[in-house]
Amino acid sequence: MRLLPLLAFDSPLSTTLTGPDWLAITLYFALLLGVATWAVRKNKDTAADYFLAGRNLGWWVIGASIFASNIGSEHIVGLAGSGASDGVALAHYELHAWCLLVLAWVFVPFYMRSLVFTMPEFLERRFSPASRYVLSIVSLVTFIVSKIAVGIFAGGVVFATLLPEMHLDVAGHVIGSFWVGSVAVIVLTGLYTMLGGMRAVVYNDAVQVVVLIGGSALLTFYGLHILGGWSELRRFCGSEMLNLWRPITPAGVQSTWAPVLDTTPSGSLVRQAWYFNGNFPWPGMLICAPIIGLWYWCTDQYIVQRALGAPNEQTARRGSIFAAFLKLFPVYLFIIPGLICFALAKSGKIAEFSHLVGSDGKPVAAEAQAAFPLMVRYLLPPGLRGIVVAGLLSALMGSLAGVFNACSTLFTVDLYEKFRPKASQAEIVRTGRIATAVMILVALAWIPVIQGAHGLYGYLQAVQGYLAPPIFVVFFFGVFWKRLNAHGCLWAMVAGFVLGGFRMVVDTPVTMKLAGFEDGYPHGSFLWIVNNINFQYFSVLITLVSAVVMVAVSYLTPVPDYARISGLTFATSSDADYVRTRSSWNKWDVLGSAFILSCILAGYIYFSG
């Protein structure tokens, strides 16, 4: 059936970008350039304007920006890659849109009352300056080793897949498209972020959302049509790949409703403990995934900074609810195309996808992360392919721009301003721009680690799983439990970050396959056991240790000054605070939230069969 000549499925498609594609890309980036130029002209040389867009953002811009920042590099490339290799296992993370409702209904009132710039600043008001410094430094490290580096790497993957012939010859050394693309993404993103600040970031995000959702929906539609429909997808992928609770596992590993067990002979060395490095067992998904989700959506500077740009509590809440609604789409726009890509490869309908399937008929994880750009390259017609490519690259840039802006805010407001309290507004903005450039250079050095990791999205979740638990504990326990004090908060973060850092140090040589670590640690040794414990189980361990330390230390030290933390916990909020919050929402906010929860429940039911 032909809808338009452009949408003809049976027409031969070029696999390289053509004239119409480049025209679409040029027009799209011209639009983004116009938005960035407008933002630069509108900006005032003040910290509030540069870091929070003058606290004057509308709810739809806040929601779109939260969503666009989240679905940048790791979601477009990583989720599709995970779909092609692990099925819908990582849909758990996407169905955590309910975490944004927790931000809207639980945390927004506290954040908006305090009028803070950063999450560490809120922690200082609740606990102490020491906790602020610790969180600021750890947050910056987290951004570098996960969000920034993964974003740069994903940009390289997109360029290497869509433009494999692009390269540079520098002093006799050929630099491939992966590195050319990575550097190009950094330079372009860094420029408009440093010049335009948060206003340039959020309004460009709003443009990206429309293109990404529309383009990705068309890609899913094209893929299903060529494959033969949803029934063919289920036939080639099998029930295992379309079941949230039964992620596919390699030979020798049993995957059932019970936790994943190692059934190989070497498994007896740890008495068949619940471990398998690089998989997603259901107990981990049930416990660890919500911890990471609540940390990310409710306490991470990268996300919450958009809500802080709202003029009032009502706008911040509605923006968060709108972001939760948009968050329902990635399962169908990015994970499902990954499954479609694998199904097309397994069916033999697209010969160029054959390398995604191993001789045993299972996905080849090392090849899967190119699934989304492969779909764009081989399935879409000229013109439309250019629009989706432009949206894809723009989203990669938008995600990085959000992180750059969050990094500069953390460094400037939480560290630089503390040491130079008399710094002028112009000096603060200039320092934020310099901080962005430094973060980019450090992140570049981390790319080799990601290249060796098992899957882009898996790497990101592992790093976040090691660093997020103590932050989750101090924020959630701090808001709900007024008795917990500054000593408990500080030691909980120290204990949690030491454990998480230890696991990262143990994992890195194996991930990078450094000399002597190509085959990992000696089988059965202590470091081998640590390296092979599933990252989600280790994350749960860090959470438990952080929680126990926080409660124990708090009750062994003096009671906090409740007057000083007035309005920062539920128990210390005044009647006036509750009245103000109640007047900021109505039935439509409640109905919208209920609709989102219904959609999430429906997704869980369908993908659990």
Q: What share of the chain in percent tops pLDDT 70?
A: 80
Only one residue has tokens 């934020």, namely 432
- Tell me the two tokens of residue 297: 């959506």
pLDDT at 4: 34
Most confident residue range from 212-226, 259-273, 434-448 = 212-226
CA atoms within 13 A on the CB side of 423: 19
Q: What angle do CA 139, 190, 103 make, to 5 degrees?
A: 40
Q: What is the mean pLDDT of the chain?
A: 78
The answer to whether the beta carbons of residues 167 and 175 sit under 8 Å apart is yes
**How many C-beta atoms lie closer than 10 Å to residue 254's C-beta?**
13
The answer to whether the beta carbons of residues 163 and 17 sit under 8 Å apart is yes
pLDDT at 276: 36
The answer to whether the beta carbons of residues 326 and 107 sit under 8 Å apart is no
- Tell me the two tokens of residue 557: 């030290």
pLDDT at 270: 36
Range list of H helices, 228-281 = 230-241
pLDDT at 14: 47
For 61, list phi and psi in degrees, rounded to 5. -70, -40
Q: How confident is the model at residue 483 (pLDDT cuts 50, 70, 90)?
A: very high
Question: In this model, does residue 69 exceed pLDDT 70?
Answer: yes
Question: In this model, does residue 487 exceed pLDDT 60?
Answer: yes
Question: In this model, does residue 33 exceed pLDDT 90?
Answer: no
Domain ranges of the chain: 32-251+295-448+573-606
- Tell me the two tokens of residue 198: 């948060």
pLDDT at 259: 43
pLDDT at 178: 65
71-75, 184-188, 247-251, 449-453: the lowest-pLDDT one: 247-251
**Closest C-alpha to 556, from 496, 499, 483:** 483
Most confident residue range from 65-79, 168-182, 340-354, 453-467 = 340-354
The answer to whether the beta carbons of residues 206 and 64 sit under 8 Å apart is yes
pLDDT at 375: 82
Most confident residue range from 22-26, 99-103, 297-301, 423-427 = 99-103
pLDDT at 279: 57
Question: In this model, does residue 161 exceed pLDDT 70?
Answer: no
Q: How confident is the model at residue 273 (pLDDT cuts 50, 70, 90)?
A: very low
Express each pLDDT in 183-209 by its tens digit: 777 777 777 777 767 777 788 778 878
The whole-angstrom separation of Cα 587 and Cα 604 is 26
Q: How confident is the model at residue 181 (pLDDT cuts 50, 70, 90)?
A: low
Most confident residue range from 135-144, 340-349, 456-465, 477-486 = 477-486
At 369 the three-state DSSP class reads: coil
To the question of domain 32-251+295-448+573-606 being in CATH 3.30.70.360, the answer is no
Going from the C-alpha of 389 to that of each of 71, 216, 257, 295, 449, the distances in angstroms are: 15, 10, 40, 31, 26
55-64, 79-88, 99-108, 267-276: the lowest-pLDDT one: 267-276
CA atoms within 13 A on the CB side of 262: 20
Most confident residue range from 164-178, 242-256, 587-601 = 587-601
Most confident residue range from 8-22, 239-253, 330-344, 412-426 = 330-344
103 or 273, higher pLDDT = 103
pLDDT at 239: 74
Question: In this model, does residue 265 exceed pLDDT 70?
Answer: no
What is the average pLDDT across 204-232? 84
44-58, 318-332, 369-383, 458-472: the lowest-pLDDT one: 44-58
Express each pLDDT in 372-387 by its tens digit: 878 887 888 887 788 7
Express each pLDDT in 17-27 by its tens digit: 778 888 888 88
What is this structure's pTM? Answer: 0.81
Q: What angle do CA 194, 389, 334 make, to 5 degrees?
A: 100
Q: Which residues contact 237 (CB under 8 A, 6 or more apart)?
A: 87, 339, 342, 343, 346
CA dihedral defined by 263, 268, 273, 275, rounded to 10 degrees? Answer: -50
For 559, list phi and psi in degrees, rounded to 5. -65, 140
- Mapping DSSP onto H, E and C, the string for 78-124 reads HHHHHHHHHCCCCHHHHCCCHHHHHHHHHHHHHHHHHCCCCHHHHHH
The whole-angstrom separation of Cα 146 and Cα 302 is 12
Question: In this model, does residue 3 exceed pLDDT 70?
Answer: no
Describe the crossing of helices 486-512 and 129-142 by its angle, rounded to 10 degrees.
20
Q: Which residues contact 256 (CB under 8 A, 6 or more apart)?
A: 246
Question: In this model, does residue 555 exceed pLDDT 90?
Answer: yes
At 10 the three-state DSSP class reads: coil
pLDDT at 250: 43
Compute CA 70 distance to the chain's CA centroid, rounded to the nearest angstrom: 5
Compute CA 578 distance to the chain's CA centroid, rounded to the nearest angstrom: 32
Compute CA 506 distance to the chain's CA centroid, rounded to the nearest angstrom: 23
- Tell me the two tokens of residue 113: 């009352």
**How many C-beta atoms lie closer than 10 Å to residue 373's C-beta?**
24
pLDDT at 303: 87
Going from the C-alpha of 275 to that of each of 160, 283, 519, 527, the distances in angstroms are: 34, 11, 18, 14
Question: In this model, does residue 499 exceed pLDDT 90?
Answer: yes
Q: How confident is the model at residue 557 (pLDDT cuts 50, 70, 90)?
A: very high
What is the average pLDDT across 571-581? 89
Q: Which residues contact 52 (CB under 8 A, 6 or more apart)?
A: 117, 198, 305, 308, 309
What is the average pLDDT across 470-478? 94
Burial (CB count within 10 angstroms: exposed 0-12, middle 13-18, buried 19+), residue 606? exposed
Most confident residue range from 11-20, 98-107, 156-165 = 98-107
18-27, 154-163, 197-206, 573-582: the lowest-pLDDT one: 154-163
- Bridge partners (DSSP) listed for residue 48: none
**Closest C-alpha to 154, from 219, 45, 76, 97:** 76
40-44, 213-217, 373-377, 560-564: the lowest-pLDDT one: 40-44
pLDDT at 101: 95
What is the average pLDDT across 277-282? 56
pLDDT at 45: 65
Question: In this model, does residue 323 exceed pLDDT 90?
Answer: yes
At 196 the three-state DSSP class reads: helix
pLDDT at 307: 87
148-162, 216-230, 479-493: the lowest-pLDDT one: 148-162
pLDDT at 164: 67
What is the average pLDDT across 198-223? 81
262 or 575, higher pLDDT = 575
What is the average pLDDT across 445-459? 60
